């Protein structure tokens, strides 16, 4: 049976449609436009959301956990609460993100995460619209700079190696879709080229690279940057370093944590102006403490203490408790942009970065029926995943 959604406004998100109608059939979008232009067949289920805004489901490409659970645990029992928490905050799709750990631990996690991605791609989640769906794995570590490792354990970092990457690739059943790497470490340029050939979006981050080293990584195939400004060589007016490339190179997209803790609001504004509305991506970098009270939690094998929204391990920032809908609202405020433009940064922009913009991050004919229903102020009213309205 077809389903029609009606609302005061719809964001595709690049286009705004007033007095909108969205027609869904078998988990995909079959028509979209003004109510007067969309033919709603007889016996269609109709849901009228009144003054609300329909937008694509949000996509989080960097998340380590939530609801008291860590992504590295990777079992369905542990992933389900994380996915339900994300869905409550407007996220329909995500990329579970690893953290540097012993190789055998990482391989076990990648095996379980690869199976989870496979279940999602096989539509095993069909019938359950309460869980965000994993689309691929983000490998953060172990190919990171010692100088800018953040809380990633120094003893567990590895030189960039095709052999180790291939072991991880095989463990994940080929579902690695995003990899963060420092372009200046030994073997990085070769590995960037190899991963890119396999369809991985290579992201430069956790890096102390100079400008020439960053540009070499981009030339080799890197095309994204991980949590811009954090775990990077600082921007210097004479020695611009990695940030000089990230903020100016055409064809490079970049993500940022907009929680008001990782990056000052003024710098968020600067980032959006420099990188532009089409190349800016919002992430959470959320850990197991997200949605939980203050206390001690884990990030991989690390203990993290959370107080007043700040996550620290041994005095260093260790992820966040940010949700993606709040990142959208914060970006509206910090960068003084419209809700529509902030939503772009959490939908179509990450979809384009990962090459899935034909089916995710958009409300267009043929795309998956993943929809977030917002209030005009950007609060989430409902998340519809795979066309399932619970």
Q: In this structure, what CATH number is given to the domain that contains residue 332?
A: 3.20.20.140
246 part of a folded domain: yes
Distance, CA of 51 to CA of 110 (rounded, Å): 43
**CA nearest 93: which of 138, 132, 137, 136?**
132
Q: Is 220 left (phi over 0), alpha (psi -120 to 50) or beta?
A: alpha
Residue labelled with tokens 């406004």? 9
Q: Which domain holds residue 111?
A: 57-361
> Alpha-carbon distance 209 to 285, whole Å?
22
* Sole residue written with tokens 């609202």: 329
Residue 95: strand, helix, or coil? strand
Question: What pTM was estimated for this model as a whole?
Answer: 0.97
Whether the predicted pLDDT of 16 surpasses 80? yes
pLDDT digits (tens, 9 = 90+) for 180-209: 999 999 999 999 999 999 999 999 999 999
Which residues, at least 6 apart from 250, have a Cβ–Cβ distance to it below 8 Å?
Answer: none
Please state the rounded mean pLDDT for residues 30-39: 96
Q: Distances from the Cα of 180 to the Cαs of 7, 221, 274, 363, in angstroms?
A: 39, 12, 22, 29
Q: How many domains would you assign to the chain?
A: 1
Q: Is residue 232 in some structural domain?
A: yes
User: Up-side HSE of residue 332: CA atoms within 13 Å toward CB?
Assistant: 17
Structure tokens, 217:
């990584």
Strand partners, 70: 65
49 inside domain:
no
CA atoms within 13 A on the CB side of 37: 9
Q: At what angle do helices 103-121 and 162-171 cross, to 10 degrees?
A: 50
- Give per-residue pLDDT as tens, 326-371: 999 999 999 999 999 999 999 999 999 999 999 999 999 999 999 9
In the set 60, 70, 208, 285, the catalytic residue is: 285
Pairing state between β 45-48 and 69-70: unpaired
Q: How many CB atoms lie within 10 A of CB 138?
A: 27
**Interior angle at CA 163, CA 157 and CA 166, nearest 5:** 95
Q: Tell me what pLDDT residue 124 has.
A: 55
CA distance 331 to 259: 9
Task: Give the C-alpha separation, 132 to 60, whole Å.
Answer: 10
Per-residue pLDDT tens over the stretch 246-255: 999 999 999 9
For residue 99, tell me if it sits in a domain: yes
Calculate ∠ Cα 41-46-47, nearest 5°: 155
Average the pLDDT over each of 126-140, 171-185, 291-305 and give the range with the smallest value. Answer: 126-140
377 in a structural domain: no
Across 146-150, average pLDDT: 97
305 φ/ψ sector (left φ>0, alpha ψ -120 to 50, else beta): beta
CA angle 325, 326, 331 (to 5 degrees): 100
Spatial separation of the C-alpha atoms in residues 374 and 85, rounded to whole Å: 16
Average pLDDT score, the chain: 96
Residues of the chain above pLDDT 70, percent = 98
Question: Could you tell me the maximum CA-CA distance found in the chain, to the nearest angstrom?
Answer: 66
| Alpha carbons 29 and 220: distance in angstroms, whole number | 37
In a domain, 42, yes or no: no
Residue 342 lies in a domain: yes
Told to judge if 285 belongs to the known catalytic residues of this protein, a careful annotator would answer yes
User: CA nearest 20: which of 45, 56, 54?
Assistant: 54
Which of these, 313, 351, 315, lies nearest to 100 by C-alpha position?
A: 313
Nearest one of 15, 20, 57, 11 to 40, comparing CA atoms: 20
Half-sphere exposure of 340 (CA within 13 A, CB side): 10
Q: Are the C-beta atoms of 170 and 109 separated by less than 8 Å? A: no
Within a domain: 233: yes
Average pLDDT, integer, range 43-55: 97
């Amino acid at each position: 049976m077809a389903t029609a959604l009606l609302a005061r406004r719809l964001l595709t998100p690049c286009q705004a449609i007033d007095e909108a109608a969205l027609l869904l059939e078998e988990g995909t979008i079959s028509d979209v436009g003004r109510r007067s232009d969309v033919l709603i067949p007889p016996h269609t289920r109709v849901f009228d959301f009144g003054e609300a805004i329909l937008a694509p489901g949000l996509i989080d490409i960097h998340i380590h956990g939530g609801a008291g659970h860590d992504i590295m645990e990777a079992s369905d029992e542990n992933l389900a609460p994380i996915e339900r928490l994300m869905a409550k905050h407007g996220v329909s799709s995500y990329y579970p993100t690893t953290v540097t750990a012993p190789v055998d631990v990482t391989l076990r996690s990648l095996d379980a995460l690869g199976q989870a991605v496979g279940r999602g791609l096989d539509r095993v989640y069909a019938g359950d619209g309460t869980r965000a769906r994993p689309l691929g794995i983000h490998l953060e570590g172990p190919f990171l700079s010692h100088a800018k490792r953040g809380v990633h354990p120094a003893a567990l970092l590895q030189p960039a190696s095709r052999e180790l990457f291939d072991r991880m690739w095989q463990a994940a059943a080929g579902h690695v879709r995003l990899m963060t790497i420092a372009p200046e470490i030994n073997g990085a340029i070769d590995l960037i080229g190899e991963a890119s050939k396999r369809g991985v979006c290579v992201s430069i981050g956790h890096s102390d690279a100079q400008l020439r080293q960053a540009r070499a990584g981009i030339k080799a195939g890197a095309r994204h940057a991980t949590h811009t400004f954090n775990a990077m060589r600082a921007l210097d007016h004479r020695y611009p370093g990695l940030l000089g490339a990230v903020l100016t190179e055409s064809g490079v997209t970049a993500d940022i944590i907009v929680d008001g803790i990782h990056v000052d609001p003024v710098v968020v504004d600067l980032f959006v102006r420099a990188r532009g509305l089409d190349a800016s991506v919002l992430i959470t970098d959320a850990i197991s403490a997200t949605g939980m009270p203050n206390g001690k939690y884990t990030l991989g094998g690390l203990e993290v203490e959370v107080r007043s929204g700040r996550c620290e391990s041994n005095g260093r920032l260790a992820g966040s408790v940010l949700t993606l809908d709040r990142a959208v609202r914060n970006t509206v405020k910090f960068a003084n942009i419209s809700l529509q433009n902030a939503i772009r940064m959490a939908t179509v922009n990450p979809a384009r970065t990962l090459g899935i913009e034909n089916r995710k991050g958009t409300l267009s004919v043929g795309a998956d029926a993943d929809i977030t229903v917002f209030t005009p102020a950007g609060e989430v009213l409902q998340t519809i995943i795979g066309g399932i309205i619970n």
